Amino acid sequence: MSPTQLPENSSKGIVAVGIGTAGCNILSQLADYDLEIGSLHFLSCDKTDLTKLQNGEKMLIPLEVGGKVATGYVRGAALKFLDKIEHMVEDADMVIITAGLGGKVGSAISPLVAEACKKYSKKCMAIVTMPFRFENNKHFTAGVALKRLRKLAAGIIVVDNDEILDNAPQAPLLEVYRTINDKIGVALSRLLGGAEESGVAVDMHKLLDTMNSGGYSLLEIVTSSTNGPEEAVKRALKSICRSANPESATKALLYLIGDEKLSSSDLYASMNLISGVIGKGSPEIQYGFSSKQTSTTTAILLTSGYQSTKFDDYDPLSKILADSEIDDAPETSLGLDLGDITSVD
Ligand SMILES: Nc1nc2c(ncn2[C@@H]2O[C@H](COP(=O)(O)OP(=O)(O)O)[C@@H](O)[C@H]2O)c(=O)[nH]1
Ligand SMILES: [Mg+2]
Tell me phi and psi for residue 275, to 5 degrees.
-70, -20
pTM score, whole prediction: 0.90
Dihedral angle of Cα 238, 150, 126, 46, to the nearest 10 degrees: -110
Nearest to 214 by CA among 243, 258, 249: 249
pLDDT digits (tens, 9 = 90+) for 240-251: 999 999 999 999
Each residue's pLDDT tens digit, 28-71: 999 888 888 999 999 999 999 999 999 999 999 999 766 567 88
Q: Which atom of ligand 1 is nearest to the CA of 178?
A: 27
Ligand 1 in reach of 129 Cβ (< 6 A): yes
In angstroms, the CA 152 to CA 75 distance is 16
How does residue 3 score in pLDDT terms, banded at 50, 70 and 90?
very low
- In angstroms, the CA 25 to CA 34 distance is 17
DSSP code, position 63: P
| Averaged pLDDT, 235-261 | 95
Confidence tier at 282 by pLDDT (50, 70, 90): confident
DSSP track, 7-24: -SS-SS-EEEEEEHHHHH
pLDDT tens digit string along 302-340? 999 999 999 998 987 776 766 665 555 556 666 655 555
* Residue-wise pLDDT tens digits, 63-107: 976 656 788 899 999 999 999 999 999 999 999 999 999 999 999
Q: Beta strand 155-160 with 216-224: parallel, antiparallel or unpaired?
A: parallel
Nearest atom of ligand 1 to the alpha carbon of 180: 1
How much of the chain is in helix, strand and coil states, percent to nearest 5? Answer: 40, 20, 35
The answer to whether the CB of 305 falls within 8 A of the CB of 214 is yes
d(CA 302, CA 221): 9
**Measured between alpha carbons, how far is 66 from 79 in angstroms, rounded to an integer?**
19
Residue-level pLDDT at 280:
82
* Helix or strand holding residue 267 (H, E): helix 264-277
Query: Could you write out the DSSP letters of every residue in 92-109?
Result: -SEEEEEEEBTBSHHHHH
Higher pLDDT, 230 or 1: 230
Give the pLDDT band (50/70/90) at residue 4.
very low
Residue positions counted in the chain? 345
Is ligand 1 within 6 A of the CB of residue 155? no
Q: Is the dihedral of CA 151, 156, 160, 163 positive or negative?
A: positive
Question: What spacing in Å lies between the alpha carbon of 340 and ligand 1's midpoint?
Answer: 40
Q: Model confidence over 123-151: pLDDT tens digits?
A: 999 999 999 999 999 999 999 999 999 99
Task: Give pLDDT, residue 65.
Answer: 67
pLDDT at 117 over 70: yes
Place 1 in a pLDDT band, splitting at 50, 70 and 90: very low
Q: What is the pLDDT of residue 191?
A: 94
In the reported structure, the alpha carbon of residue 162 is separated from the centroid of ligand 1 by a whole-number distance in angstroms of 12
Closest CA to 206 of 191, 216, 194, 187: 191
Q: Across residues 271-282, what is the average pLDDT?
A: 91
DSSP string, 288-305: EEEE-S-S-EEEEEEEEE
**How many C-beta atoms surround the C-beta of residue 272 within 10 A?**
13
Ligand 1, atom nearest to 109 Cα: 21
What span, in angstroms and rounded, lies between the C-alpha atoms of 320 and 199? 48
- Cβ–ligand 1 distance for 100 under 6 Å, the answer yes
d(Cα 89, Cα 95) in Å, to the nearest integer?
7
Q: Which of 17, 19, 21, 146 to mutate to test the pocket of ligand 1 (most atoms within 8 A of CB)?
A: 21
Atom 7 in ligand 1: residue holding the nearest Cα:
22
